[in-house]
Structure 1
Amino acid sequence: METKKVWFVTGASKGLGLTLVQKLLASGTPVAATSRTINELKQAVGYEGPLFLPLAVDLKTESSVGEAVTKTVETFGRIDVVVNNAGYGMAGSLEELSDAEARENFDVNVFGALNVIRTAMPVLRKQRSGHILNIASIGGFTGAFPGFGIYCATKFAMVGFSESLAAEVAAFGVKVTVVEPGYFRTQFLTAGSLAVPKNEIAEYEEVRKVQSLHQNDLNGQQTGDPEKAADVMIRVANDENPPMHLFLGQDSYDLAYAKIDQVKKDLEAWEELATSTAFESEKA
């Protein structure tokens, strides 16, 4: 009989994380799931039984994350798939957002994920197996979203360290996939998941338009189905040759190809001048 993989999912009380956890439990897969509030997590997941380990975790505190990882291993004996899903959106121009607002977004979206990786890797390394899925965003591949510079920066950081992590842990049999979704119909654009600047600057009219578009027009109208996104992630986690980059949704693909085309255009337009920078004696 096939042994089910043990999953460890952060940010599991809402969004893609919640849908993923519910699907895994419905299929008989053991899951350790984290959220800041355990009662909210239990209520959202709506499942009770030995397969489900709900954990209250402060991702910004390494000791809290470490306790959760230890509890998971004590309960299930191992961890096979780690999903860094926790995070929140941040709207506002770079000038508007304070140092504290920007750092808080990085603390959760970037350093929270690094805390999970740092505490889970000894388990995966000892097992000589495992798979880490870091949930970034298409905003971690293209930053062409006025008013989302800090959020995009946190997701660009996740994409970058995921690529490095994949190279670092391959020798231990551990795989890494960075997931870059487009717009999915979750609570991501609601007030509880999308922060806005405390001190808005009136001159940033384009930023306000984009902010309003996300909060009022796109929210609830996203074309992406989170159920299907969860299915794709589960399939990827069970694949022998999973992708390093997983773009999710047609919109994500369209934006990724547009970015690639723009980079290619810039490369070709400036290649002759930009590659004429070697010392004369070292030119080919």
Structure 2
Amino acid sequence: MENKKVWLVTGASKGLGLTLVTKLLAAGYRVAATSRNREALIRETGGPTSGFLPLQVDLVDEGSVRDAVAETLRHFGTIDVVVNNAGYGQVGTLEEMSDEEIRKNFDVNVFGLVNVIRHVMPHLRTRRSGHLFNIASIGGYFAGFPGWGSYCATKFAVVGLTESLAAEAGPFGVRATVVYPGYFRTQFLEEGSLTVSARQMAEYEEVRAIQHQHQTAINGNQPGDPEKAAEVLIQVAEAPQPPVHLFLGQDAYDMVEVKDTALHRDLEAWRKAATATAFPQENPVAS
């Protein structure tokens, strides 16, 4: 076991995080796992052992994150792989949602993730190795889902942060991968993981229909198997050249193609006008 990597996984009491932690422990990896509710985490995974450290962490509280990273290092002596998995869905049109609802979504999905990065990087940078996985969503690449603007915006932010992190951390031997899962059969669309805006306007009939579809027809019928997703993450963590961008699920790949086709169409339609925006080239002075 001492030769196995140490993983730190946030949002580990349910969903992909719980599945990943369970697989890691079964394979003999050492794991520190966080949740807002430590007792709920222990109920799902068991109590602390020499190879498992369950932690109660408020990711929005930087002091809580700092203490969790320090406790992980005291317990295991090192951290090799970090999985920023914690987050939640927010449904509501941009007109309906309050400032408080959107900011809370960003606090957890983006700033909580940055808090973890900020406090693990000194260790990873000093030892000149490590790997960070930031779990985004296919909604961080393709945002054509009415009513999911806030959530998609948080995941687009995670993508941008990860691309920059990969460039910043690379010289220190630290890798970063942003993960874009499609629809996986977890509790993501259930109460507790999905929040609906308090204000719901009758004018947005299409959004209400999409919201209802996600909470009923799609929930429990997602095509993706979280067990297989966890296996891919473990495989990538052991790869000598891991990707910066990792899309998970056939549906994720399909949506990439839809987005890329639309993007290419817009590029070509406006190429002539959009590229004729430079200052006129000055003629060289004759000698």
TM over 0.5, shorter chain: yes
Larger Rg: 2
- Rounded to whole Å, the distance in 1 between the matches of 2:156 and 2:73 is 31
Structure 1 stretches lacking a partner, 5+ long: none
Q: Which residue is equivalent to 1:122?
A: 122
Q: Please list the CA deviations of residues 238-284 of structure 1 after superposition, one character each: whole Å capped at 9, or x if unmatched.
A: 1000111000000000001111111111111111110000001269x
- Rounded to whole Å, the distance in 2 between the matches of 1:266 and 1:282 is 30
C-alpha spacing 1:119/1:48, structure 2 compared with 1 (3 Å) = closer
Mapping of residues 70-219 of structure 1, within 5 Å: 70-219=70-219
- Rounded to whole Å, the distance in 2 between the matches of 1:30 and 1:70 is 16
- Give 1:48 deviation, angstroms: 5.0
Superposition CA RMSD, Å: 1.2
Contact 2:90-2:148 within 8 A present in 1 as well: yes
DSSP-derived class of the 1:152 partner: helix
> How many residues are matched?
283
AA aligned to 2:104 is: E
AA aligned to 1:53 is: L
Structure 2 stretches lacking a partner, 5+ long: none
- Give 1:3 deviation, angstroms: 1.1
DSSP-derived class of the 1:273 partner: helix
Report whether the alignment pairs 1:51 with 2:45. Answer: no
DSSP-derived class of the 1:254 partner: helix
DSSP-derived class of the 1:281 partner: coil
AA aligned to 1:86 is: A
Q: Is the deviation greater in 273-282 or in 15-24?
A: 273-282
AA aligned to 2:209 is: K
DSSP-derived class of the 2:234 partner: helix
Q: Please list the CA deviations of residues 169-216 of structure 1 after superposition, one character each: whole Å capped at 9, or x if unmatched.
A: 100000000000000000000011000011111100011011001101
Q: Which residue is equivalent to 1:8?
A: 8
C-alpha spacing 1:47/1:224, structure 2 compared with 1 (3 Å) = farther
Q: Please list the CA deviations of residues 121-174 of structure 1 after superposition, one character each: whole Å capped at 9, or x if unmatched.
A: 001001100000000000000110000000000000000110011000100000
- Rounded to whole Å, the distance in 1 between the matches of 2:77 and 2:127 is 11
- Rounded to whole Å, the distance in 2 between the matches of 1:91 and 1:46 is 33
C-alpha spacing 1:2/1:96, structure 2 compared with 1 (3 Å) = same
Q: Is the deviation greater in 140-149 or in 259-268?
A: 259-268
Q: Which residue is equivalent to 2:238?
A: 238
Contact 2:47-2:54 within 8 A present in 1 as well: no
DSSP-derived class of the 2:131 partner: strand
Calculate the TM-score normalised by the size of structure 1: 0.98
- Rounded to whole Å, the distance in 2 between the matches of 1:108 and 1:79 is 22
- Rounded to whole Å, the distance in 1 between the matches of 2:24 and 2:158 is 24
- Rounded to whole Å, the distance in 1 between the matches of 2:282 and 2:174 is 40
Contact 2:48-2:54 within 8 A present in 1 as well: no
C-alpha spacing 1:210/1:113, structure 2 compared with 1 (3 Å) = same
- Rounded to whole Å, the distance in 1 between the matches of 2:153 and 2:34 is 24
Calculate the TM-score normalised by the size of structure 2: 0.97
Q: What fraction of aligned residue pairs are identical, expressed as a percent?
A: 63
AA aligned to 2:130 is: G
- Rounded to whole Å, the distance in 1 between the matches of 2:4 and 2:257 is 36
- Give 1:26 deviation, angstroms: 0.4
DSSP-derived class of the 1:243 partner: coil
DSSP-derived class of the 1:280 partner: coil
Report whether the alignment pairs 1:227 with 2:227. Answer: yes
- Give 1:94 deviation, angstroms: 0.4
- Give 1:46 deviation, angstroms: 3.5
- Give 1:2 deviation, angstroms: 7.5
AA aligned to 1:19 is: T
